[in-house]
Structure 1
Amino acid sequence: MDHTSLQPYLSSSTCIDVEDPDLQALARRLAMPARATTDIVLACFEFVRDEIAHSADFRRNPVTCRASDVLRHRTGFCYAKSHLLAALLRANGIPAGLCYQRLATGDEAAPYCLHGLNAVYLAAHGWYRLDPRGNKPGLEARFDPPREVLPFTPGKAGEGDLPGILAEPLPVVVGVLESCATYDQVLAALPDAALPA
């Protein structure tokens, strides 16, 4: 894949604010002992997965959206954690995007919500999905290319992977994160989007 087509996945933006000084410093620190791109990806992934608390798992406020705020407050929903991972990878010159799954929120089908995760471009494998939401009993994510190890596998009626790898978060996701003040408000208004027919 040529560099031009990957440029959007290396850019800084409002939510993926690559230029933030604290974020830049962390990106450099995580890359320091690394020898290969995959070492840097692993270090950034494990930092976000393990060191940033998932807001719902830990019942933690404030609600964060911008990557630098996720880092500052050390908490975020899956969407926000994916913004931080994308920013750390981009700060290290590694193309990274955002992916979404549509999942049932209960044991049956409806209602549904979106789940946010990442894709990273690896020269040896192409786009590879990884999920930094945070492990807990029954949910495990690892960086083990070319094999994807994701915590969720859509399989129920109405569930599925949204197509594409996005350079920017979906507006419906940003809207929920920016309009809710507490984690329980987000849980009551989780974003959703229909799968393409």
Structure 2
Amino acid sequence: MLPESSYLPDYLEESDIIDFSNPLIERKCNHLFDRPSSSSELKKVKIAFEFVRDEIPHSWDIQGSVVTCSASEVLKHQQGICYAKSHLLAAILRRVGIPTGFCYQKLMLFDTPDKGYAIHALNGIYLHSLEKWIRLDARGNKPGVKAEFSLTEEKLAFPIQEQYGERDYQTIFTKPNQKTITTLKDNSNVIEMYKNKLPDEL
């Protein structure tokens, strides 16, 4: 993995998308990290990851109708596709001082190349205590998809199948990809967006 920036504060910035000063984000962080058992950096990362993975449904899985983009919107509506969920995880971790970036994969949209491709989003997180980056995928588990918190080997939602044209982008970006943001902002129907309008290249 290659960080886009060597300056870690770039991975702590707030924006209108990663809006961690929003009261909804503030209250959720206070709730998630209000126990002594959540005091360490590693525990904070694991708690935040598992919350976004397990408690915020992926909009396609629930056939949702609300398109969310900013972290606070995802929290308010309790759903989002992978792009939006990566915004929420970044906002929660950045609020507590843990550098978090954005990573991408090019995947088959469904199960065969002829059905097209889409960019998939996950997060890169810098662990000061271990002096290294890890990637976590909070997309949400379901039959056939099992992403886990791991410090030693990546356990992401989707293995890359290079023989089918899939690829793993190695950069950890400081900001969400503009194509993914535009897609979320320009659409109002999750199902139509997911079927027809997701970007297939960075």
Q: 1:153 — aligned with what?
A: 159
Calculate the aligned-residue CA RMSD, in Å.
Answer: 1.7
1:19 aligns with 2:21: yes
Aligned residue identity for 1:150: L
The answer (yes or no) to whether the contact 1:61–1:75 under 8 Å persists in 2 is no
Q: Post-superposition, which runs of at least 4 consecutive aligned residues in structure 1 deviate over 2 A?
A: 106-110
1:141 aligns with 2:147: yes
Q: 2:59 — aligned with what?
A: 55
Query: Structure 2: how far apart are the matches of 1:107 and 1:12?
Result: 36
The answer (yes or no) to whether the contact 1:99–1:116 under 8 Å persists in 2 is yes
The answer (yes or no) to whether the contact 1:28–1:92 under 8 Å persists in 2 is no
Query: Structure 2: how far apart are the matches of 1:57 and 1:181?
Result: 17
TM-score by length of 2: 0.90
**1:14–1:153 Cα change, 3 Å:** same
1:101 aligns with 2:101: no
Identity of aligned residues (%): 42
Aligned residue identity for 1:22: L
SS of 2:119 mapped into structure 1:
strand
TM-score by length of 1: 0.92
The answer (yes or no) to whether the contact 1:125–1:146 under 8 Å persists in 2 is no
| Matched positions, count | 193
1:183 aligns with 2:185: no
Alignment of 1:8-87 (within 5 A): 8-33=10-35, 34-87=38-91
Query: Structure 2: how far apart are the matches of 1:141 and 1:161?
Result: 16
Deviation at 1:125, TM superposition (A): 5.0
Deviation at 1:29, TM superposition (A): 1.9
Q: Deviations over 1:85-107 (max 9, x none)?
A: 00000011101011000001243
Give the one of 114, 118, 122 matched to 2:119: 114
Aligned residue identity for 1:38: L
Q: Name the structure, 1 or 2, with higher relative contact order (CA <8 Å, separation 6+).
A: 2
Gaps of 5+ in 1: none
Query: Structure 2: how far apart are the matches of 1:67 and 1:50?
Result: 16
Gaps of 5+ in 2: none
